[in-house]
Structure 1
């Protein structure tokens, strides 16, 4: 599996409060903003680009969303690191052959056409890692 850093997901309580730092201090640009109401996701997303690097600000849409639970347990901050792969199905197969466990219920295609799955943090020494593939 060849993987390239795709983006960092950052959990925030309020995108509107967090945006000025990324726009004004880091000189980033807002490239997309959307809401995912998919069950088990429930998140507002702001996609920021800074010098060719992508950061996704993640704000929970309700108190039961995964981001809300994350903030309650760990506080605001880095939620996940995402790596792009050419073939997600093949990457999953290869990772499983190396004993990697996945959060199976996270496998999906998001509203922007990105196919993704999260690796169970027990396989990564505690870091939530997303593998993603952009549809051709």
Structure 2
């Protein structure tokens, strides 16, 4: 079951560019619970990630900062510029819900056998890259290191 929206992934060229809008103008704050001030390095995408709290609720922005265009996020940024990258739903069981969505015709992106999240092709979900995040493993997925 989908429990809610966990985060919205936004890709940007630099931390400074994004913090101008997200932190300074909109007044959001870094989420110290999900990541250190220096962010999290995601080797698979060669990108840095920062989580930002949106107001007083549980919704977060996952700020994605590709270091180059070698992986998907970097290619996305080069093609579309700074923009919304994906929408992540918090679910009670990623494997179960992903299987249900595949049964309904959605095509899952292969992240390998140890993936704890699931992504679905944008062309199947109204041109929105869609992620499922497991409520039971969410903290582990977003911990640095």
Calculate the TM-score normalised by the size of structure 1. Answer: 0.85
State the Cα distance separating 1:106 from its structure 2 match: 6.4
In structure 2, what is the Cα distance between the partners aligned to 1:5 and 1:79?
Answer: 14
- From 39, 45, 48, the equivalent of 1:44 is 48
In structure 2, what is the Cα distance between the partners aligned to 1:127 and 1:106?
Answer: 21
Cα-to-partner distance string for 1:83-134 (whole Å, 9 max, x where unaligned)? 010100100111111111111136755xxxxx21210112112111111114
Calculate the TM-score normalised by the size of structure 2. Answer: 0.80
Distance 1:106-1:62 versus aligned 2 partners, 3 A rule: farther
What is the aligned residue count? 129
In structure 2, what is the Cα distance between the partners aligned to 1:80 and 1:2?
Answer: 16
Cα-to-partner distance string for 1:26-72 (whole Å, 9 max, x where unaligned)? 2211112211113xx22101110021221011110222121110011
More helix by share: 2
- From 81, 100, 117, the equivalent of 1:94 is 100
In structure 1, what is the Cα distance between the partners aligned to 2:113 and 2:79?
Answer: 23
More strand by share: 1
In structure 2, what is the Cα distance between the partners aligned to 1:106 and 1:82?
Answer: 19
**Structure with bigger RCO (C-alpha 8 Å, 6+ apart):** 2
Distance 1:107-1:5 versus aligned 2 partners, 3 A rule: farther
State the Cα distance separating 1:3 from its structure 2 match: 4.1
Q: Secondary structure at the match of 1:100?
A: coil
Q: Secondary structure at the match of 1:90?
A: helix
Alignment map for 1:55-134 (pairs within 5 Å): 55-105=61-111, 108-109=114-115, 115-134=116-135
> Structure 1 segments of 4 or more deviating over 6 A?
none
